[in-house]
Amino acid sequence: LAKTTQPISMDSYEGQEVNITCSHNNIATNDYITWYQQFPSQGPRFIIQGYKTKVTNEVASLFIPADRKSSTLSLPRVSLSDTAVYYCLVGEVGGYSTLTFGKGTMLLVSP
């Protein structure tokens, strides 16, 4: 299983860009990187998934360097409503490790 390491918490202010980095040094060739967002007392929400280089959707961007040993979730111009826990999961599509949640990163956005 590819193990991931994320900062426990991050602080930001409204309007700033936030970058959350996830380390996954033993990522395997077939592994994908998936990020989820969770608000208190709600189920997680899928944000973005990628394999290499850069992926962008209407919510976020995911930057993956060539060695794929880390990835960075970029949230442009955060608002108070982006305060949540963000989880990085790494694993083969359909594989068990894609079901294993780490501790995640608690992002607090202040006015």
Partner 1 sequence: GAVVSQHPSRVICKSGTSVKIECRSLDFQATTMFWYRQFPKQSLMLMATSNEGSKATYEQGVEKDKFLINHASLTLSTLTVTSAHPEDSSFYICSVLGEGYEQYFGPGTRLTVT
Residues lying near partner 1 in the complex (CB under 8 A): 32, 34, 36, 41-46, 49, 87, 93-94, 98-104
Q: How far is the CB of 16 from partner 1 (least distance, A)?
A: 26
Of 21 and 95, which has the nearer Cβ to partner 1?
Answer: 95
In whole angstroms, how close is the CB of 5 to partner 1 at the nearest point? 14
Instruction: Find the shortest distance in angstroms from Cβ 9 to partner 1.
Output: 12
DSSP 34-75: EEEEE-TTS--EEEEEESSEEEE-SS-EEEE-TT-SEEEEEE
Between residues 45 and 52, which has the closer beta carbon with respect to partner 1? 45
Nearer to partner 1, 7 or 44 (CB): 44
Burial 10-24 (b: 16+ CB within 10 A, else e): bebeeeeebebbbbb
Nearest to 60 by CA among 50, 70, 68, 69: 50
Q: Which is nearer to partner 1, 69 or 103 (CB)?
A: 103
